Structure 1
Amino acid sequence: MSTDFAKRRSLMVLLVAAAFSTSTTAGEPPDPAAVERGRKAMEGRQFLNAEWSDAAFKGVAKFWGEPAPDPDVDPDGYARAFAKRYGFHPAPFPNDGLPMGLKRSTKADGKTRGMQVDCLVCHGGSIGGKSYVGLPNTQIDYAGFFPDLFRADGRRLPILPFVLNTSRGTTNAGMMSVALMAFRNSDLSLRRFPMAMGTNLPELDAPPWWVLKYKTTMYYDGRTPAGSVRSIMQFLLAEKTADQFRELEPAFADIHAYLLSIEPPKYPFAVDADAAARGRAVFEESCAKCHGAYGERVDYPNVVVPLDVIKTDPARIEGLSELSVNHYNSTWFAERHPVDVDAERGYQAPPLVGIWASAPYLHNGSVPTLRALLDSRLRPRRYLRPPSTDFEHYDQRDVGWKFVEAPDGPPDPKDPRRVFDASRYGLGVGGHTFGDKLSEAQRSDLIEYLKTL
């Protein structure tokens, strides 16, 4: 293993987990026993070695430039301050005093205790003061968290040849996955030097896990069969051998089943029933062809909308090279479920269950509310993501996050990544203009209906 690769391992481990989204064929309920095993694995098991020491976790506050609770005298207060600083959320399960997204484990020596990130750093969020497994984390600040933790551990931040994230909540899982795979041969043996993949993927927002049960293909491009358990194991490429991957596959089959059991939270505020009924008619006329029908059951069509139709930012589709796809398809990961190299080039229109809770919208999180999604004239080009996910920042009328347009110029040095800038690579705010043709009354009724999904 090259020295550079070893130095970059921890960052590569983290963000591939953001691509950790899958499903089985719609309508096939997972085995309850497998679901329970998967839940326990997700909540209680760390599959990777510790990256940072316990001392680093306790000592990182010295870089904050403001007072912090003493981690030994007030461990709960310190954990809350840590979570707020870096965008983590309280764990809704026992987690040894750490926020959701971090877990205790041991170093490679099997003895020294420390901590490491897990899948929930991207896929564990909160809304209205309550944490949920499977809700995207729209607050996480990787570009703040990583440098501070490495410095607190007495080490330099590994240098990555691509953007980690520029805005709270975005993640570059795609490039992490490609970077890890570049260090592997087709038989998963390690390479001394990485392959030149020719891929340039942008930072994106993670999708909610609760939509996955309805899908037959996964990821934003809809090219990978949803039955693939192995594809959700890519973040282990930082450490595991081919034999270890095979040994761990049953555990990830259980995790796969657990993902399919997750349900979204229900909209917690009042809904105008008459407006929602009118909005349902608008939805069925204007939206159902791509997003499906909703009632006693969900009838989801699994449509990939071509780029020249959807016209949203193309970087996620165009930035993935054929070489990267072909190399992935040559490995154990794609042995049973290869990526479709002939599929339509576009974005998969997602199921809309729980859409009220999963703002901001579009695959890159560029649109803060449903109203702005349905009226492209309202979309800000630079805006501040909310300082927390408390309901005081939630917009019940427009559904999504209240936002303040950010002026041009340098961001607030105390929290620079609160600014979402649509001029950055992959973060364009254009496309999906189908709602522009609606009247304001139709748009409001449709939003009321979407609250009920």
Structure 2
Amino acid sequence: MRTATNRLRPGLVVLASLIVGAAFAKRALADAPSAPDPAAVERGREALLGRSFLKAEWADEAYKGVARFWDEPAPDPEKDPEGYARAFAKRYGFHPAPFPNDGLPMGLKRSVKADGKTRGMQVDCLACHGGSIGGTSYVGLPNTQIDYTGFFLDLFRADGRRTPLMPFVLNSARGTTNAGMMSVVLMSLRNTDLSSRTFPLAMGSNLPELDAPPWWVLKYKTKMYYDGRTPADSSRSIMQFLLAEKTAAEFEELEPTFADIHAYIQSIEAPKYPFPIEAESAARGRAVFEKSCAGCHGTYGETVDYPGEVVPLDVVKTDPARIEGLSDRFVEHYNATWFAAKHPVDVDSERGYQAPPLVGIWASAPYLHNGSVPTLRALLDSPRRPARYLRPPSTDFEHYDRRDVGWKAQVPAGAEVKEPRRLFDASRYGLGNGGHTFGDKLSDADRDDLIEYLKTL
């Protein structure tokens, strides 16, 4: 008889490496961040970009053969490996790696399967946190194209295996991820001493899919995750994706490596807005920002003064599922484990969403914690927000809206959608696009100027 753990294990191993997408979510601080140790940064860069921390989930043959399930021809993976890699990446929403990666797109890593012999691949944290914009790939840029569900189903089929049953929605539209529930499920299969369980604990959590945050904001924060309850200095919290395989002793052995990875992430800088900015309009917009936005989002100039404000739900009024879906039972269990021994989750803080730093905001569309708003203009003028829209077919600048700042939102005319995996539907659980109506009171002129200023951050 197969246990609950055995039925869940294949899916958890592959999905585990995506959990880090939520682990680097947010940080808050009053003073300018100190620069991390350059040696630690370099060690962390080499570890994150050059190592695989989990065993391969799929054999090389599955990667090369998955195109037989596509509805379009693909280059021959043997005769044209680079062409095949580009087609694979486009199909599933990965991006070219801006570092040596064995011919794979960013977000995948070569590894060896559990038998110790079979070569294959596994996803890593850059599947969520490795994106591109305008033809340039960036480590730390949210991946708004990733199609986890399509990728997951096809790769298991190509590997000749039954697709594991997932006990939660992984993602319903390109670019979202449910790293929170991955963590809940993996943690439910461990006792507080991190020994494995045969049957999962009942955690009582129901977290929704979300939009990944950019890594370059971590350096400004003292608290991370969207609820602002976990100290951002915790390198242990970013190790949760290893719960699919590692023992307690292995976690302790790897902790210094992940402290270095944490340092590397703190060193990442946001890309600069690549188009002309109207200076006079931006100067006026700065005054609008400092009057209307700085109290929660901080001030920007030579240094960033970020307050780390957690805005209560009854004030911000954005979709509450991420806050209400995390149970006290799960927090208590997490806080009793090794992960929280140095940096426990705050159990007494205000329940709400942490207003993020806005550095590089031009590049991190769509907006709100769940990616429900395609442009800054729609964020600042809530009646403009579409209830349903199609995520762009690529992150090339032809799909980028320079005036409204974000992604051009194609609104489907009818119920039938040719590419349903691109459809973002705000009626789905946790994906509501309401709240954050603070910009509605602005005049059109002030809103224009504010958007111009936000391009400069």
**TM-score range with shorter-chain normalisation?**
over 0.9
Q: 2:448 corresponds to which residue? A: 444
Report the secondary structure of 1:313's partner residue: coil
State how far apart, in whole Å, the 2-side matches of 1:447 and 1:48 are. Answer: 42
TM-score (norm 1): 0.98
1:190-209 correspondence to structure 2 within 5 Å: 190-209=196-215
Report the secondary structure of 1:105's partner residue: strand
Q: Is residue 307 of structure 2 the alignment partner of residue 304 of structure 1?
A: no
Report the secondary structure of 2:267's partner residue: coil
Conserved 8 A contact 1:24-1:227: no
Instruction: Kindly provide the amino acid, as one letter, of the partner of residue 421 in structure 2.
Output: R
1:15-34 correspondence to structure 2 within 5 Å: 15-21=18-24, 27-34=33-40
Q: Is residue 445 of structure 2 the alignment partner of residue 435 of structure 1?
A: no
Report the secondary structure of 2:249's partner residue: helix
State how far apart, in whole Å, the 2-side matches of 1:24 and 1:253 are. Answer: 19
Q: 1:104 corresponds to which residue? A: 110
Shift of 1:434: 0.2
State how far apart, in whole Å, the 1-side matches of 2:251 and 2:181 are. Answer: 21
Instruction: Kindly provide the amino acid, as one letter, of the partner of residue 444 in structure 1.
Output: D
State how far apart, in whole Å, the 1-side matches of 2:454 and 2:9 are. Answer: 46
Q: Is residue 19 of structure 2 the alignment partner of residue 7 of structure 1?
A: no
Instruction: Kindly provide the amino acid, as one letter, of the partner of residue 452 in structure 2.
Output: E
Shift of 1:29: 1.6
Q: 2:141 corresponds to which residue? A: 135
Structure 1 stretches of 4+ moved >6 Å: none
Shift of 1:11: 4.0
**Aligned residue among 236, 240, 247 for 1:241:** 247
Q: 1:288 corresponds to which residue? A: 294
Report the secondary structure of 1:109's partner residue: coil
Conserved 8 A contact 2:8-2:165: no
Q: 1:219 corresponds to which residue? A: 225
Shift of 1:408: 4.1
1:158-197 correspondence to structure 2 within 5 Å: 158-197=164-203
Shift of 1:267: 0.2
Q: Give the count of matched residue pairs.
A: 451
**Aligned residue among 54, 63, 74 for 2:69:** 63
For 1:248-299, what per-residue CA distance to the aligned partner results, in whole angstroms no more than 9, with x for missing partners?
A: 0000000000000000110000000000000000000000000000010000
Shift of 1:13: 1.3
For 1:16-64, what per-residue CA distance to the aligned partner results, in whole angstroms no more than 9, with x for missing partners?
A: 1221306696522210000000011111010000000000000000000
Q: 1:40 corresponds to which residue? A: 46
Shift of 1:317: 0.1
Report the secondary structure of 2:18's partner residue: helix
TM-score (norm 2): 0.97
**Aligned residue among 355, 366, 370 for 1:349:** 355
For 1:361-382, what per-residue CA distance to the aligned partner results, in whole angstroms no more than 9, with x for missing partners?
A: 0000000000000000100000
Report the secondary structure of 1:131's partner residue: strand
| Gapped regions of structure 2 (runs ≥ 5) | none
Report the secondary structure of 2:120's partner residue: strand
Please, what is the CA RMSD of the aligned residues? 1.1
Q: 1:372 corresponds to which residue? A: 378
**Distance change in 2, residues 1:24/1:222 (3 Å):** closer
Q: 1:315 corresponds to which residue? A: 321
State percent identity of aligned pairs.
76
**Aligned residue among 137, 158, 161 for 1:152:** 158
